[in-house]
Amino acid sequence: MRLFRRQFLIVGFLLSTMHFFAQKIDPDDSFTFELCLPNSFVNKPYKTIMQGLVSASPYYQYSLKSGISFGVGVHYSYFAINEFRMPVKVFGGIHTGAAFLKLGHEKFWTERFGTDIGCKFGYLQSFAVSDLLRSQGNLFNQTEALFLEPTIGFVLTADVNSSYRLTVGYPIYGYTFTPWTIGYDSTLGYSESEFSKTSSFLNVGFAYTFYFNGKKSSAED
């Protein structure tokens, strides 16, 4: 909760430093960098054993006059092993990298506010590393799967070329998680049905977008 309060304070600061006069952005091609805090959502073993630390997604996007947008980018997340939830201390985590395409709709409803709704889809590779795996002679456990993330961004303009946004996403990694993914040979009391659930998360964070084709401010028109 402390982290979320800090994030909203940052939003307040950004709003207070924006230009007093209204700005108008006409979306065209743009570059966005998202930085989020991931929280495991459905897979209970993943939610209990792993702790989300960071999720980042830089991508390029092109929007048509109709608002339909197309993007391409990369995604990275890191979940650390919660050593306090394990019977024995295990150190390590899971690195996930993905390449994706994005299809969506971007529109400015007023001179200052817009939305960007879309879905990322692509291919991922995850690498689980831990001291247990290394003691067993394995550098890492590698998993390949599909990647899907519905997203929505609430956009506030800073000037004719820049905007900040609150972004919410729901990444779905097309693989399951078990304790032996990180080298622990026990079910820890979880049932097979819980292990069969796909790994999914709730991403909440902020993003910065630079628009390569801005318009003049209404104060200058």
Full set of structural domains in the chain with CATH: 33-211 (2.40.160.20)
Which pLDDT belongs to residue 32? 97
To 5 degrees, how large is the angle CA 177–CA 97–CA 162?
130
Low-confidence stretches of the chain (pLDDT < 50) are 3-4, 8-9, 11, 13-22, 216-221
DSSP 198: P
Which pLDDT belongs to residue 6? 54
CB 24 within 8 A of CB 111: yes
Strand 162-169 to 113-130 pairing: unpaired
